[in-house]
Amino acid sequence: MRMRRSSSGQPYAATRYSRIWASVMPCSSRIRCPDSSRASSDECDSVGISRRKYSCKSAKKAGASSGNLPPFRAVGAPEKRLVTLPLATTALRMPASARTRRSAAAPRPYWRRMLPLALLLLLMAGLVWYGRHQRQVNRYARRVYATLISRYLTGHEKTPLLEGYSVHGIDVSAYQGRIDWPLVANHRVRFAFIKATEGVTLRDNRFQRNWRGARAAGIYRGAYHYFQPNYDATKQANLFTRTVPLAPGDLPPVLDVEHAEFHDVAQMRRGVATWLRLVERHYGVRPILYSNYSFYKRHLAGHFDNYPLWLAHYEVSQPSLPREKWIIWQHSDEAYVPGIRGTVDFNVFQGNFQRLLAMRIPARGRGAVPN
């Protein structure tokens, strides 16, 4: 295929681009002219122009008067022969100031405009949710913290005693692991309830050791059974009485009722009543009923008022029930007591030490004081 050429003998495309370049480029961009009206061939070579001399003075005058620079010819060259020059793309760019104004005027995307509002709404919703669940969130955060530092505990950490009460106690199970009972007694712990059984078959594997250790340390001891409402109450009572050798001087037995998974609330109440009646008949002393505040209010309130109540109620300065309704208050389940490596339940007795002693199982032939 033959290439199309212009009348001057140069390729047609090159001649065409030369005219375009000459029409849009000012003289100062095409060639640097010194103070003289002609530029040397070396200066022309520096911008890619063939070794000819060009006249810039006329081009400058024409540009000053009209604002446009006309095409120019090489001096000494044939009139129809044009210089072949590459297209200068840099001259066609938009000025920096115009680009800045254009980008500033361009609208932001919709999602970027709505992002600050969405973040504000999310923050407000989080604050409202935290205000409604502040106690649960703080409690969960403390539990996570206690789990993270549990491996670094030494067993000598200490939670301050609750002010306003003179008799303090704990309740423990196999979860607390090995307990240094003499060290616990030095922390003004006067009583301890120890888990003995659960359901119809489970015996706490540390009950006997804790039972003997508390007695040897001079701490008044008691035992409790964790009630499973979906199992036979008579079997649960028999398991407890066969496991716990309560003797005169010990605290009354305790039934822990807080398991929320049951089929029928009336059946659950009948099972609780059966356990309390059988255990009271066996030991000759009225048992203590343990439950947390929400479970008691929903399922037990008004049905077992004849039994002393041990109430668990956390994150409050005082239990919500009247003082005449309860005798022991479990105010924390994440306390630290020297002698126990990890958290433990902390309790206070409503009354003085003499009243606590009056609750103990009496010697044979003497009556017990349940309250």
Which amino acid is it at 242?
Answer: R
The residues with which 328 forms a beta bridge, in sequence order, are 310, 349
Return d(Cα 237, Cα 198) in angstroms, integer.
10
Please give the Cα distance from 33 to 57 (Å, whole number): 9
Q: Using alpha carbons only, what angle is made at residue 344 by residues 200 and 235, rounded to the nearest 5 degrees?
A: 10
Of 257, 255, 246, 262, nearest to 276 by C-alpha is 255
What does DSSP say about strands 328-335 and 309-312: parallel, antiparallel, or unpaired?
parallel
- Is residue 180 part of the annotated active site? The answer reads no
Angle (CA) 139 129 134, round 5°: 25
Give the Cα separation of 150 and 343 in Å (integer).
9
171 among known catalytic residues? yes
Supply the DSSP string of 216-244, one letter for each residue. Answer: HTT-EEEEEEE--TTS-HHHHHHHHHHH-
Spot the catalytic one: 43, 157, 232, 258.
Answer: 258
d(CA 57, CA 134): 84
| Separation in Å, CA 179 to CA 83, 211, 215 | 102, 11, 13
Task: Classify the phi-psi angles of 342: left when phi > 0, otherwise alpha if psi is within -120 to 50, otherwise beta.
Answer: left
Query: Strand, helix or coil at 75?
Result: strand
Question: Looking at 171, 198, 204, 345, which residue is catalytic?
Answer: 171
- Say how far apart CA 371 and CA 360 lie, in whole Å: 10
The radius of gyration computed from the CA coordinates of the chain, to the nearest angstrom, equals 48
Q: Which residues participate in catalysis according to the annotation? A: 171, 258
